[in-house]
Structure 1
Amino acid sequence: MKAKQINRIMYAAAILLMAAIAIYLISGGGWLLNTFLITASLLAGYPTFLKAFQAARLKMFSIELLVTIAVVGALIIGEYIESAAVTFLFLFGTYLEGRSLEKARASLKSLMEMAPLEATVIRNGLRAVIMAEEVVKNDLVVIQTGEKIPIDGRVVSGKASVNEAAITGESIPTSKAKDDQVFSGSILDSGYLEVIAEKVGEDTTFSKIIELVEEAQEGKAKTQRFLEKFAAVYTPGIMALSLLVWAITQDVHLSLTFLVIACPGALVISAPVSIVAGIGNGARNGILIKGGEVMENLAKLNAIVFDKTGTLTKGKPEVTAIKAFGITEDELLLMAAEAEVISEHHLGRAIVKEAERKALKLINKPTDMTVLKGRGIEVSLDGKSLYIGNRKGLSQNEVPIETEVESYATQQEKAGNTAVFIADDKKVLGIISIADTVRETAKETIQQLKSFGINHLVMLTGDNQHTANIVGQQLGMDRVYAELLPEDKARKVKECMGKGINLAMIGDGVNDAPAIASADVGIAMGVAGTDIAMETADVVLMADKLDKLIHALKLSKATVRNMKQNMFFAIATVAILLAGVLTKNVNLASGMLIHELSVLLVILNAIHLVRFSPVSRFKQPARPEKVIAFEEIKCAHEC
């Protein structure tokens, strides 16, 4: 039955019960009172009876079956007041559950309300306002102050301040100019932009976020699945116990009361309502958590492996030095920039940016480009073969490294730079030194993670060992592994898992995808490479801010703690009520009232998660009895 129909039935049953109370107060009883009570019992009980019948056809023991048997028994023995009270209160409890889940999903609804409806496009020189879903790829979209951005795309003209709260959870606007990326659902606070549409309709980042949150809120935690299995065993068990009570006491009323009061309604909703509220809170804050099981795994973490570039560092490296051998520095830079102009690698972009800063004209276009994973690229430039990358690539191409070149490269690496070698098929032509700065929040985040009980913090990078060590020492990482290929990172993650280690891998979601997929919890950071991040990672930090990891961990702990509180309270309530029934201190109507109040309290406790905010700093938790060190893990590379 639909929610609206159930609500109408509940209101009608409430009116019948109020009429019955009025009759009782006026006349004290009689056939008219019984008629109203029986009618209220059958009306309010209809949705419950229907669910019990459907479950019975599938040979399932449901909670509704317990209530149905008890209500039919109460009607047979003439306990009309209690049958009416039980059916109405059970229906009211169902109503409360629905309302609580609806409120917990408010974050998703608010996201959906942010979806842009219209778009202004320029086609064939003419400006037109169309529906957002009618925008096609490569359309030129115009966005003005106050308007919502309807597509994902690249800015081709204009400057603006854009509020990306719908995507990242951050309310502080970011500046956008030519070549910057913008995302659907963002709001243009001030300025003017012309954007080429790259992703439209259901392919936009915003649409994927809504879809992912919907799926996540339906995803079940291990605890929730256990409770569902528990209910399937619990129901026939309680039916057997109620028969035993009747056999011992010969009191039908007592056995029926036992049957109804034992319904674990609050227990069944204790996990799902907490999970939905927790995932909703994360979505509002730019943290996408893919379901209840991920939430539970996130709360168990005691080790985190970080990618360096773009995660611990800003991912926006700059050229710090240029050293040429046999040619001028500008010639070397121009050559490297022309080769890297079609590359998407962050180091390549830094080289192109430096050439543009020096106003060097990029004339030649590279051909026959080959990407060497974890090593660099090979291109044909102006008819000549050119390699740009690290030592591994030079060794593979059998290009000799002279002493002068090696000495200079080592010197740059010890200073914290990445040395990019430029070579033809015979010799090294020069070295471009590039450095990436550590994120402002990285050191504080690492310190907070340690105080939070994350005992192992490891950094993996494809960068050289010298640069990696400098960043690792600056941040206080426990271990640093450098010069790794993407497959090496995935292997390292696998080697370090198990034996009491609950491990997360956090990276940018693109080149770290294999390692992210290998971890107990894969975390992708930022909206760069969003598609693969959303497909691969269990958690996506949309804001591209490392401190969002702190919010995610605290939220997971709070959600799991909330589930446990709800379960304990629900079990305790049922136990106390059953003890009251057996000692004849609790009757059917009062027991059901207390039972539904317990449902309401469980719901209210879970709703707190919707407004959860980790404003306080981490406090040092109690240390575990035995800390499992990485040294205890026998892996090939001393993880």
Structure 2
Amino acid sequence: MAHAHTHAHGDSCGGQDIFDHHHDYFDIGHPDEAGAEEQQNRVAFRLLGTLLGGALVLNAYLCDWLIPDHRGVGDFSAVIGALILAAPLLWHSLRDLLEGHLSMEELAALGILAALSLGDYRTAGVVAFLLLMSMLVQQRSALGARAAIEQLLRLAPKTAQLIDGDDERTVAATELAPGQRIRVRPGDNVAADGIIRSGETTLNEATITGESIPADKAVDDQVFAGTTNLTGVLEVEVTRTGADTTLGHVRTLITEAERTRIPLMSIIDQHSQWYTPTMLMIVALIYFFTRNANAAVAALVVVCPCAFILATPTAMVAALSSAARLGILIKNVQDLETAGRVNAVLFDKTGTLTTGDLAVMRLQPVEGVEAEELLRLAASVERHSRHPVARAMVAVAKEAELEMAEVTGFEEVAGRGVRAEVAGAEIRIGRETWLAESGVDMSSTGGDAQRPPEDLSTLFVSRDGRCIGWVGLADTPRPEAIHAVSELRELGVGRINMLTGDRAAVAAKVAAELGCTDFRAECLPQAKLESVHALRDAGYFVAVVGDGVNDAPALAAGDIGIAMGAAGSDVAINSATIALMSNDLRRLPFLLRLSRRCRMLVIQNLAFGLVFMIGGLTFSGFGLMTPIIAALLHNVSSFIVIFNSARLVRMGEEFAPHQAT
């Protein structure tokens, strides 16, 4: 589970502010601390102050050029501008020291202070201006990286149309309570999670599931806050409001994920307390051997490691943003890192690799009975049942446009089957053993040609004590499952195993269709756990994928647990480390690619930051770099890291083109 991120250091020239908000001057806040508009206003206010100071420093240079005989005018303008620009940096650095916090930000402040003490106000002002602009751009980039997330979260409307008896009135969404009913018209966003009690419509659920195709909804279907009603008028009974809605949970989990840290970030924090003293010693040595104050000031600016510190958090925030847009909830960034190392995947079959909905695969009437008659009788009786088997039979009968018969005396025998009368004849549908126990003559299905295959779930149909055939059903694989499994193999996942409680024949057929490397049938929960532990003991990084409801122990046992179709299910969201809000299995290989690309960008960023610092120190040591050039290069290095990481934000837009920005 994600844990709150807190530590003592206000690292890095504002760079660490992306996750850490120790300094209120540079604080941009988390999504739950301030709205995006307030954050933008905060950045704009600081930008005005920075531009004012920058204008005064620029004015000093203009005075030197236009009125060289009155240098005092330029000096005065430079002093005021430098003080305006340097004050925030110096104040926060001083406050850190008084509070006992030694952070990397003090290096830049020392460089500016050194330039001021030498009377080089123009250099101090330019360096402070460039550093402040760098921080503001970093903050703005952090906001931009979260823009996709904030766009999702703002879709929950502030008001709702409450149905009060025969009247309807507008109320604040925060005033809604479970049990109340609201009306949702075409074009409106749903204000709370609920159940449709009246009406049919099509909903855009991309904010929750990441699916670009709208979903058809009817009475008794669930709807989520923040989704958009596209067609019909709905009457919805509220079940959850505010932070308790699925959208509210999404927001909470994303916020918590942003506060978590990968091991590399923790290592950087642990060593940051030694970084500043070490760099000060190096700068002192440069000054000792060169006696060049400008070289020492340039070195102080160079060793403020914004690019190095920005390397990891910018990539992680961008990856979280990309994942959230596609309905992938990552609770802890450590799990994002682990996903890239996965080389074994264990799938639960039913509801994960398959749809979980039975479909009629075969009709086998006995001699003298037509297939249409067999299906018509079976569907006529089964339409009075709510069993999944019944829905499958009725659905295929409707597709065939068969006319249903009138049924009387319907009775459902739990775990056995159903019986009723159709046109005076007794019809029974159920297990072979039940029909045989009821005295039905099963001899007509005794031949090999009449026996059902083992890979189908079979229901036999009898009329007036004689079996007239059977109906074979199967759980169908998801259309995207074959593609997803193939992609996983291309990504180097060597073991793709399927676990199921079904019979071995059924499991073997599904595993062969999808291209799984192995399967285990007739699995109890303990057997699933044993399979996970066996792979981990063999040295594999194991991802367990299931629905998060009946396989929670196995999900918890893997290196990462991934719950499919978690929208609206608290159990699924809480049982897994990563939740896929939709049932699209293609999100899984995308997650692995996102993780690996994120890791690659982090390594690129760290390598670049390290090379920049070493190169900058070398040039400063030989007196080849002025403080202003050092500040400019410092900005360039930070921008390169930010823009490199930002490439992750748009990754995966092919899944949801309507959300591209």
Fold-level similarity (TM above 0.5): yes
Instruction: Quote the Cα distance in structure 1 between the aligned partners of 2:618 and 2:497.
Output: 53
User: Contact conserved, 1:300 with 1:502, CA < 8 A, in 2?
Assistant: yes
Look up the match of 2:189: 148
Counterparts of 1:110 and 1:473 in 2: how far apart (Å)? 42
Match of 2:49 in 1: 9
Q: What is the deviation of 1:498?
A: 4.9
Matched, 1:242 2:283: yes
In the alignment, structure 2 segments of 5+ residues that lack a partner are: 1-23, 27-41, 365-374, 398-403, 417-429, 435-441, 461-469, 656-661
1:510-554 deviations in Å (ceiling 9; x for gaps): 112221122111111113562122222222221211112222222
Deviation digits for residues 305-331 of structure 1 (CA, Å, limit 9, x no counterpart) = 1111111101112466899xxxxx999
Partner SS, residue 161 of structure 2: strand
CA shift for structure 1 position 453:
1.1
Aligned partner of 1:258 in structure 2 is 299
Q: Counterpart in 1 of 2:13?
A: none
Q: 1:163 aligns with which of 204, 212, 220?
A: 204
**Alignment map for 1:516-535 (pairs within 5 Å):** 516-527=555-566, 530-535=569-574
Bigger shift: 540-549 or 115-124? Answer: 115-124
The CA deviation string for residues 237-293 of structure 1, in whole angstroms up to 9 with x for no partner, is 101222233333444443333222111111111111111111111111222222422
> Which range moves more in the overlay, 525-534 or 146-155?
525-534
**Offset, 1:337:** 10
Instruction: State, as a whole percentage, how many aligned pairs show the same letter.
Output: 29
For residue 468 of structure 1, report the CA deviation from its aligned partner.
0.9
**Greater mean deviation of Cα atoms: 486-495 or 263-272:** 486-495
CA contact (8 A) 1:242 1:255 kept: yes
Aligned counterparts of 1:249 and 1:117: Cα–Cα separation in 2: 64
Letter in structure 2 aligned against 1:535: N
C-alpha contact 1:108 1:214 (8 A) present in aligned 2: no
Which residue in the other structure is 1:574 paired with? 613
Q: Is the Cα contact below 8 Å between 1:100 and 1:603 reproduced in 2?
A: yes
1:467-514 Cα offsets, whole Å, 9 max, x none, are: 111111111111101212234323321332155411111111211222
Aligned residues between the structures: 569
**1:443 corresponds to:** 482
The equivalent position to 1:221 in structure 2, one of 253, 262, 284, is 262
Matched, 1:559 2:573: no
Question: In terms of mean alpha carbon deviation, does 605-614 or 458-467 score higher?
Answer: 605-614
Alignment match of 2:492 (pick from 439, 442, 453) = 453
2:64: which partner in 1?
24
Taking structure 1 as reference, are residues 467 and 333 closer, same or farther at Cα in structure 2, changes over 3 Å only? same
Counterpart of 2:107 in structure 1 is 66
- The residue that corresponds to 2:308 in the other structure is 267
- The 1-side partners of 2:149 and 2:297 are apart by 42
**How many Å separate the matches in 2 of 1:148 and 1:134?**
16
CA contact (8 A) 1:311 1:525 kept: yes
Structure-2 residue corresponding to 1:233: 274
Distance (whole Å) between structure 1 residues aligned to residue 223 and residue 242 of structure 2: 15
Task: Give the secondary-structure state (helix, strand or coil) at the position aligned to 1:45.
Answer: helix
Distance 1:155 1:507 in 2: 27
Q: Distance in 2 between matches of 1:283 and 1:360?
A: 50
Q: Does the C-alpha gap of structure 1 residues 352 and 437 become closer, same or farther in structure 2, counting only changes over 3 Å? A: closer
**In the alignment, structure 1 residue 537 sits paired with structure 2 residue 583:** no
Q: Distance in 2 between matches of 1:333 and 1:145?
A: 36
Matched residue type, 1:490: L
Aligned-partner residue type, residue 61 of structure 2: I
Aligned CA distance change for structure 1 residues 252 and 91 (closer, same or farther; 3 Å): same
Deviation at 1:603, TM superposition (A): 1.3
Does the residue aligned with 1:555 lie in a helix, a strand or coil?
helix
Name the CA shift for 1:201/1:362 in 2 (closer, same or farther; >3 Å): farther
1:327-342 matches, cutoff 5 A: none
Over the residues paired in the alignment, what is the CA RMSD in angstroms? Answer: 3.7
Question: Compared with structure 1, are the counterparts of its residues 528 and 73 closer, same or farther at alpha carbon in structure 2 (3 Å cutoff)?
Answer: closer
TM-score (norm 2): 0.77
Residue 90 of structure 1 deviates from its aligned partner by 1.4
Give the conservation status (yes or no) of the 8 Å contact 2:326–2:652. no
The match for 1:36 is 77
Structure 1 letter corresponding to 2:227: S
Which residue of the partner structure matches residue 78 of structure 1? 119
Residue 350 of structure 1 and its aligned partner are, at CA, apart by 3.7
Checking the alignment, whether the CA contact within 8 Å between 2:294 and 2:626 is kept in structure 1 is no
| Higher normalized contact order (CA 8 Å, seq sep 6+, divided by chain length) | 2
The amino acid across from 1:508 in the alignment is D
Instruction: Measure the CA separation in 2 of the matches of 1:56 and 1:549.
Output: 47
Counterparts of 2:156 and 2:621, CA distance in 1: 56
In the alignment, the residues of structure 2 paired with residue 235 and residue 525 of structure 1 have an alpha-carbon distance, to the nearest angstrom, of 46
Instruction: Give yes or no for the alignment of 1:550 onto 2:576.
Output: no
* Distance in 2 between residues matched to 1:21 and 1:472, nearest whole Å: 74
What's the TM-score, normalizing by structure 1? 0.80
Q: CA separation of 1:581/1:415 partners in 2, compared to 1, >3 Å: closer, same or farther? A: same
Aligned to 1:612: 651
Alpha-carbon distance change, 2 to 581 in structure 1, aligned in 2, over 3 angstroms: closer
Residues 1:133 and 2:174 aligned together = yes
Instruction: Report if aligned partners of 1:258, 1:578 keep a CA contact under 8 Å in 2.
Output: yes
CA contact (8 A) 1:7 1:95 kept: yes
Deviation at 1:608, TM superposition (A): 1.9
Asked if 1 retains the 8 angstrom alpha-carbon contact of 2:25 and 2:88, the reply is no
Correspondences of 1:225-374 after superposition (within 5 Å) = 225-318=266-359, 349-351=388-390
- Check conservation: 1:279, 1:291, Cα contact below 8 A: no
